[in-house]
Amino acid sequence: MYKSLTLSLLMICCCLQPVLATNPVLTYFSQLLDETRAEIAIGELLREQLLSEFPENIKIASDTELTQRMRKLAENSSRAKLNYNVLLINSDIPDEIPLPGGTLILTVGLLEAATSEEQKDFILARNIMHIVLKHPMKLIKSEGLYPTILNQLKSRPDNRNSQILRKLLSDYLRNISKLNHKKADLQGILLTSSPEKTRIAAIDMLRSFTIRIWPILPWDTGDLPARIAELEKLKLPE
């Protein structure tokens, strides 16, 4: 009886072996899901740290209109399901900070510099592509921040080291000019309803920045002259 039972179990195991064997497709999607979860968690961690450190006299809040506009543009991307949202900082300094997972931080100064709807769409669309292409995550990994962030995520929120979190945020913000801005520009305008109009509007806006910002802060503008040159060369399908 026991011999018969043993043989039966062996036969069942043999039958199950191909099913239990590692499926490369399932493994790929499992890893992709884990990476997306990590990306979202890291973005939330950086967002909360930034909000906690902001001076009380400077207003920062979610912008419903811009968030809806961003999500509409993102529908044309390969990562439309992410929880895109826009935080607006009441600052005159033009700036934009895409975080991993879908959060975009903009300043009032940048929006005021956008003199047309196409320019506003360009700002949102290019940052969508930063997130879609995982540029923030690539920056975090290339700058060696990833292991430290993961260690902080593994800890309970009340046990996380505020000094370490502050340095992580500072390092991320300091290196944000290293994001692939040219690629985000070029692919971002393709998300808009009128890519050619957006391309022309983007060139005009970036040119204005070369006069107002680039001579003073060339390290903090993603190489504006090169970005303009790439947009000027871009040939869109008619």
Flag whether pLDDT at 215 surpasses 60: no
Average pLDDT, the chain: 85
Residue 93 binned pLDDT confidence (cut-offs 50, 70, 90): confident
Predicted confidence (pLDDT) per residue in 181-191, tens digit = 999 999 999 99
52-56, 89-93, 143-147: the lowest-pLDDT one: 52-56
Cα atoms in the 13 Å half-sphere on the side-chain side of 97: 19
**What is the helix (H) or strand (E) element at residue 45, kind and residue range?**
helix 24-53
Phi-psi region of 125 (alpha: psi -120 to 50; beta: other; left: phi over 0): alpha
7-16, 33-42, 107-116, 128-137: the lowest-pLDDT one: 7-16
CB 78 within 8 A of CB 127: no
Residue 55 binned pLDDT confidence (cut-offs 50, 70, 90): confident
Flag whether pLDDT at 214 surpasses 60: no
Structure tokens at 195: 């890519």
pLDDT score at 20: 39
Quote the DSSP letter at residue 98: E
Please give the model's pTM, rounded to 2 decimal places.
Answer: 0.84
Mean pLDDT of 41-57: 91
Structure tokens at 101: 């997972």
Residue 23 binned pLDDT confidence (cut-offs 50, 70, 90): low
Structure tokens at 26: 């399932």
What residue spans define the domains of the chain?
31-233
